[in-house]
A and B are shown apart, each in its own frame.
Chain A
Amino acid sequence: MTDRTFHSVSPSATGLDPAVLAGAESFARSWATAVIGSSYVPMTRAEVADHLRALTELLVGALYTNPFRTAPGYDIGTRLVEAHFTSTDTLGRTVQLLGDDLLTALGLAGDERMRSRLAALQGALAAGYSRALRERTLAEQEAIRAAVLDARDQAETALRASEARFRAMFTEAAIGIGIAAIDGTILDVNQSLQDMLGYTVEEMRARNVRDLMHPEDAASVWRLYDQLIRGECDHYRAEKRFNRADGEQVWTHLTLSLVRDDHGEPQYQVAMIEDVTDRHLLQNRLRFQALHDPLTGLPNRALFLERLGKAFNVRSPRARVGLCYLDLDGFKVINDSLGHDIGDQLLIEVGRRLDSSVAGEGRLVARMGGDEFVILVEGSAGTQDIVEVADRVLRTLEGPVRIGGHELSISASIGIVERAVAGTTAAEQMRDADITLYWAKADGKSRWALYDPERNAREVARFTLSATMPAALERDEFYVDYQPLVRLEDSTVVGVEALVRWQHPEFGRLAPDRFIELAEETGLIVPLGRWVLRKACEQARRWLVEFGDSAPFVSVNLAVRQSRDPELVRDVRRILDECELPPTHLQLELTESAIMGTADEPLEALRSLSDMGVRIAIDDFGTGYSNLAYLRHLPVHELKVAGSFMEGLRAADGADPVDAQIVATLVQLAHALDLTVTAEGVETPAQAERLRRIGCDAGQGWFFARPGPPEDIDRLLHGD
């Protein structure tokens, strides 16, 4: 298609007459004007004119050449096409212009021979032009078609290369890849996925994506799948399990993507599946280790508390949870005497027995630590359920355990709490189970105890009292009331019993029966008793000062623990000294058991006190098992007959002769031993009268006066 040939048409080669050349020149100008713009030629106007002048000269030369030949005409037509005068307008105008103007321009207008020659040359020019244009057109068409094929080849090569790359990526990928149609028909799976699931491509192609559903799949996996298939989401990730061909399970991370067609409609689904089984199993093992006791393999405290917490998350008002808190009896002895190894073996065996006897749906046996185990019963129907469990546990532990040549008998104590979930918490249930276990231990071990809210309330109150008692003593919350001991013969107040009271800021006025026992348990009875003794002595001193010889003695209760306090004698002496009270104005009351059951030492203390002049009375006489033979050897001055005998003396006409006989006998006995007798609990005039007749020395009770402040005694002494 290059057109560098047009310069080769040289006008000098023709050798024509100058007049003819001038005519040719003129024609060439007209020719240029006629064809410029009809075709695109890469030439200036002047270059076009030059080119056409050369062709004109060639043509004119041919007209004059003998013998006449048409070949130059043919040649000119060819050269026009070569110069890219490819528009057929150019040919048309050229042929017309030749016929109209050339002979005239050459001065040959009437020359028939020339006209005939020109016609022949016009024909040859047209033929040459047509032939050249046809050749050129065919060549260019061939070239452009070749280019199309070329371009297509290149595109196909590129496509094939790209396809090969993608195919390699699919085939060689370490991650499992699968492609399925929108209806779930599996179309292709790569080698990794085949290896992962253990099925061949053909086996996979025979299946549907939904066949890969696993019973443990989260509901979201298939909900998202449906959304994706409907085109509502483009991809999602999930954790999913698959069943392998060999029955094993594979844990995977799955990414499912939707491929849409050009119109945006769902077309394919592509799954990328990563095998995370090893990671999953490791995680499981770590989790198991974190939640299980390494010794027994049972769930540990953490797992138990997690399960208990879940049980309490059930919001149903009827949901109940039962708990057995179990502790081996005497485990420490086994551990200490036979060694930790044996102890550990024993715990393993206990764990095994518990697990096999209790295990089941909704039941969990866990080791809390040490020799403490716990059994959780979820969805319990009532107390009976869990009591059965506890009974079974106690039975299963009955059989001896053989470890390393030892045959060990074991037992356990169990605290049981079974209640509705509503209105309580896991922590409360744990705490109550722990308390109840303590009850079972306290009640004698090898048994279960059932949680009792009333018992718990009492214990809580007791605990509160005993905990606050020392501070109460310091804050002067205690005070002393007095109740007169009246001589029956003449109704004279001979003595007063000091009775301690506690003005509790929370519980109000508390009688001794609410706190003395507690004080004995905690040991606070010693300072409390000392305080009461001092108060009573101070008061007795005031009466002594005011009433002289007719002042009553004070009778102060001495608790067992006090009676055994080695400081007792010194304390009493110091207080009497400090209060300037003669010992004869003090009486100490002890219970039968405190006196009878005592060893030598306390008895010595009582003797010292007695020798000092302090009166000793036996309180509540007749309710214990007094050794009457022993009584005569004791440093005792008075018996206080228990109020329970007064019932039979209530009516004036001797309602219960047995009671009356007992009291009379006691009085006789006392008098025989040279002891005075005071009857407690005298409530009616009839009782007082009968006692007087029996010969009882003194009486105490509501009939004479209720316990009250010292001012009440003052009034009595004044005879008001």
Chain B
Amino acid sequence: MERASVARVYDYWLGGAHNFAADRAAARQALEAMPELKSVILTNRAFLRRAVRYLASVGIRQFLDLGSGIPTVGNVHEVAGQVDPTTRVVYVDIDPVAVAHGRAILAEDPNVTMVRADVRDTASVLESAEIRKLFDPTEPVAVLMIALLHFMPDETDPYGMVATYRDSMPSGSYLAVSHAGFESGEEPFGWRRARDLYERQVTPMTNRTGAEFARFFEGFDLVEPGQVRIPLWRPDSPDDVEETAARYPGFGAVGRKP
């Protein structure tokens, strides 16, 4: 509680109250450094909603949300549940408070559960009792890494981690990724300050370029519209695409394992 957590800072930005003073202070300071951050966060959350709706529409009924944080407003099982209430969702996070909270609110729902694990420890995630219980290993699954990989520096081998998850999926499965990043020279105003503050108080961040982002999808076929800035991925309406969308500091894509 003394230290801000990624999950609770995110919850605060989304307008939730699942947070403490330290989380709110960190969130506010980052916002002060970069006022657009709020819209960046909301847009990222909207990507999750659109991606899950898309995946549900192509028939996916198993979702593995890695680094889910607190299953707060607009979470996966709500969005997917609107299409099919029997959709099975497993949330994974390392934050014990987020997991405790998730388990409390999900206790009544037999199709949704939460695993406490380090997503980098792929074996303990994939071999977890929860996944064995809820998932049919022969059925396609959607693995979500929403605002996750930019918390993993190259030294921790995020590419290898993604490949391990890929290799565990049956054919016809999907990977959805959103990731903070931009091409060189595009750095948004106040970004570095906001990031420094965030790194100091919460956790380090690694922004990646489009090319670096693309490597996460090795072994996948990207679905339309491919790899784009997050607001441009299957927007709900043209009104949602603002002028600034093309410079939005984050990439999004969904790929299908052939």
Contacts and interface: CB of A to CB of B under 8 A. Distances in A.
A86 interface: yes
Contacts of A141: 17-18
B98 interface: yes
B153 interface: no
B96 A45 contact: no
Interface in A143-169: 143-144, 146-148, 150-151, 154-155
Contacts of A599: none
Interface in B63-100: 70, 72-74, 78-79, 82, 96-100
Interface stretch (A36-44, A203-211, A214-222, A249-257): A36-44
A530 interface: no
Contacts of A2: 78
B28 interface: no
A45 B104 contact: no
A137 interface: yes
Looking at chain B's contact residues, the main secondary structure is: helix
B73 A147 contact: no
Contacts of B61: none
B71 to A, nearest CB: 9
Interface in A513-544: none
Contacts, number: 85
Nearest to A147: B101
B236 A45 contact: yes
Given A45-B239, A150-B100, A137 B17 contact: yes
Contact of B73 (A40, A137, A154): A40
B20 A144 contact: yes
Interface string B25-51: 000000000000001011001100100
A577 interface: no
Contacts of A45: 236-237, 239-240
B14 interface: yes
A136 interface: yes
A1 interface: yes
A282 B118 CA distance: 54
The residue among B70, B79, B101, B105 with the most chain A CB atoms within 10 A of its own CB is B101
Contacts of A146: 100-101, 104
B1 interface: yes
Contact of B237 (A46, A84, A140, A150): A46
Nearest to A140: B17
Nearest to B242: A37
A4 B81 CA distance: 10
A139 B16 CA distance: 11
A143 B42 CA distance: 23
A301 B96 CA distance: 74
Contacts of B122: none
A550 interface: no
A42 B104 contact: no
B73 A42 contact: yes
Interface residues of A, number: 30
B257 interface: no
B100 A140 contact: no
The residue among A37, A137, A138, A155 with the most chain B CB atoms within 10 A of its own CB is A37
Nearest to A133: B17
B206 interface: no
Nearest to A42: B74
B15 interface: yes
A155 B14 CA distance: 28
Interface residues of B, number: 35
Nearest to B73: A84
A141 B99 CA distance: 15
A539 to B, nearest CB: 111
Interface string B215-245: 0000000000000000000001101100000
B195 interface: no
Contacts of A44: 236-237
Looking at chain A's contact residues, the main secondary structure is: helix
A87 interface: yes
Nearest to B49: A42
Contacts of A147: 18, 97-98, 100-101, 104
Nearest to A90: B15
A139 B1 CA distance: 18
Contacts of A139: 17
Interface in B96-116: 96-101, 103-105
B105 A154 contact: no
The residue among B15, B45, B73, B78 with the most chain A CB atoms within 10 A of its own CB is B15
Interface string A20-43: 000000000000000001011110
B19 interface: yes
Given A37-B42, A42-B49, A144 B19 contact: yes
Interface in A245-280: none
A87 B16 CA distance: 9
A38 to B, nearest CB: 9
A44 B239 CA distance: 11
Contacts of B46: 40
Contact of B42 (A3, A40, A137): A40
B8 interface: yes
A4 B82 CA distance: 9
A1 B14 contact: no
Nearest to A139: B17
B105 A144 contact: no
A1 B73 contact: yes
Contacts of B19: 144
Contacts of B72: 1
Contacts of B73: 1, 3, 40-42, 84
Contacts of A86: 15-16
B97 A148 contact: yes
A40 to B, nearest CB: 5
B112 to A, nearest CB: 12
A40 B14 contact: yes
Given A138-B17, A151-B99, A155-B96, 15 more contacts: A1-B105, A3-B78, A41-B73, A41-B74, A42-B45, A44-B236, A45-B237, A46-B236, A144-B97, A146-B100, A147-B18, A147-B98, A148-B97, A148-B100, A151-B100
11 contacts: A2-B78, A37-B39, A41-B74, A42-B79, A45-B240, A141-B17, A143-B104, A144-B19, A146-B100, A147-B98, A150-B100
Ranked nearest first, the 7 interchain pairs of A and B with the lowest CB-CB distance are A42-B74, A147-B101, A140-B17, A151-B96, A150-B100, A44-B236, A147-B100
Interface of A: 1-4, 37, 39-42, 44-46, 84, 86-87, 136-141, 143-144, 146-148, 150-151, 154-155
